[in-house]
Amino acid sequence: MDFHCPDSSQNEVLSLLHILTKFEKPIKLLIVEDNEGDYVIIEDLLIDNFINVEVVRANSFAQSQTILASERDVNVVVLDLTLPDEHGESLVLKVLEIAKNVPVIVLTGYSDKDFGIRSLTLGVADYLLKDELNGMQLYKSISYSIERKRIFNDLAKSEQKYKSLFELSPIPMWVYDAETYQFLKVNKAAIKNYGYSESEFLSMGLKDIHPQEDLVKLDQATIKSRLNERKYYKGNFRHIKKNGDIIFVEIESNRIAFNGPEAVLVLANDVTEKLIAENNLKNSEAELEALNAELESRVIQRTKDLTEAYRQLESFSFSISHDLQAPLRTIIDFMKILKDKTKDTISDDLKTCVDYVINSSCKMSSLITNLLDFSRLGKVNVQNVQIQTMDLVVQVWQNLVHQHSEKTEFVLNKLPDVQGDALMIEQVFVNLISNAIKYSSKKDRPLIEVGTRTINGEVSFYVKDNGAGFDMAYYRTLFGIFTRLHDSNEFDGTGVGLSIVKRIIEKHGGRIWAESKVNEGATFSFTLPLA
């Protein structure tokens, strides 16, 4: 099968990328290809675009199986779909199984795009057609596959570290939603000390473990905690265990970001024994001194454990932010170097692509920072500016072009300018229009409309679609965190988007509501301060 080799302008770009690419140790690639001519072309492209590369070849599936079993340092597998002893989807599944966490790139002349997409869902890192292959494509596919593998491994290690710290703490700990009080996660010590199972905890809220007469105190403490800029709170409460026993606990809490929404991390130190002992020891000074010494020792040890656990958990939000931002900074820095090195020879089209990557990465970096602050503090200062809403919505639609099909009809009516935080308002339209695209995608002629209407002198914006809609009987839960009204097999999503939209709208002094009928679409309306 023939390849389309890169033209002279592409060769120039490849040559410059070759200069920028310096790996500390050789990259080891396994090429699974039975066609000698195809293998030679692939090998030449690899040698031309990688300074340090070691190529190992397998002529059949059986040979690749032997190599992967004996050589543990293979970085990437480049796989042809048709081999003498195996082919197609069966081949892909078998290679993925023996390759384990080594990225697999499917390289074939098989031009069925549906199969290409299906192969990606099976777990391959990339799917490239031989007829369209050039050095740039192969270089980027292999480099990005290796980098993705490294990032995923680092994230997995970081997540496991903090999960273990939480789970293995000897002190009961839990995370609850700052708005709804719903338990989001509990550790083993909490399950053991309170008697509830994990599933029982997660079906309850914080108020369920407080006596009815203490709920006012809980609400007051919550308000005080939110007003504390340090995000830290310490106090004493009474809790109810599953068996009905009431215990006295010393609470230390800190507001954190947990999978998106603002949450509260709590350490609950049971001090019931201490309080009972102090009350009883009033009758005997000698007994008081002895028991107090014992309790003091226990408190010191628990405080030491608590301080260490809290110190490490306090870095949780920073670590998550760093892990999200680091890959973006790498992309931005690399593309800026590329742009600078190629400024005299780069084509206009490629320069446009580089600028787009830089601008999009910078925007995403800013968005991550704002959303993290918003989730962590719950009161990010709104940077009020005048927003040209028409231009903003047009830009949002253009940025979402990859999400909708060409048959989607987009109607944009005239929109007034508004006053608010540009990044937050953009996120509102991104979330609502993305939802409209997703839930109307199965219609023969998807229709999405953005506009305004005036009712009783009040101007409201709306985003309307003709998609799947939802049953208004479930409207009360629509804007709740992690709430989904459709099966995940039918439409993907996390159930967080509408919660973010609602909080942003309310932060701007507006309100949001929705109207819908099943299979007849949905309309989301909201108000914002006009400029």
Over residues 395-423, the pLDDT tens digits come to: 999 988 777 778 889 999 999 999 999 98
What mean pLDDT is reported for the chain? 81
pLDDT higher than 70, residue 277: yes
Q: What are the backbone dihedrals phi and psi of residue 152, each rounded to the nearest 5 degrees, phi first?
A: -60, -40
pLDDT at 341: 87
pLDDT band at 6 (very low <50, low <70, confident <90, very high): very low
Number of CB atoms found within 10 A of residue 26's CB: 14
> Does the pLDDT value for residue 5 go beyond 60?
no
List the single range of 186-190, 238-242, 498-502 with lowest mean pLDDT.
498-502
Q: What percent of the chain has pLDDT above 90?
A: 26
Instruction: For residue range 54-85, list pLDDT tens digits in order.
Output: 888 999 999 998 888 887 788 899 988 889 99
Q: Indicate whether 274 pLDDT > 90.
A: no
Q: What is the pLDDT of residue 109?
A: 72
User: Which residue, 483, 387, 498, is CA-closest to 435?
Assistant: 498
pLDDT of residue 254: 86
Q: How many CB atoms lie within 10 A of CB 437?
A: 20
Give the tens place of pLDDT for each residue, 134-181: 878 888 888 888 888 877 777 667 666 667 678 878 889 999 998 899
- Pick 170 or 113 by higher pLDDT: 170
- What Cα–Cα distance (Å) separates residue 303 from each residue in 199, 256, 299? 29, 21, 6
Please give the residue that has the higher pLDDT: either 447 or 298.
Answer: 447
> Taking the CA of residue 486 as centre, how many other CA atoms within 13 Å lie in the half-sphere pointing to its CB?
17
Tokens, residue 195: 């008697």
Tens of pLDDT, residue by residue over 286-301, are 666 777 788 888 878 8
pLDDT in tens, 336-383: 888 888 888 888 888 888 888 888 887 677 556 645 654 553 556 788
Q: What is the mean pLDDT of residues 182-203?
A: 93
- Token pair 């999200």 is found at 324
Contact 387/531 with Cβ under 8 angstroms?
Answer: yes
Confidence at residue 293, expressed as pLDDT on a 0 to 100 scale: 81
- Model confidence at 7: pLDDT above 60: no
Residue 26 confidence (pLDDT) above 70: yes
With a pLDDT cut of 70, the percent of the chain lying above it is 81
Closest CA to 504 of 364, 366, 371: 371
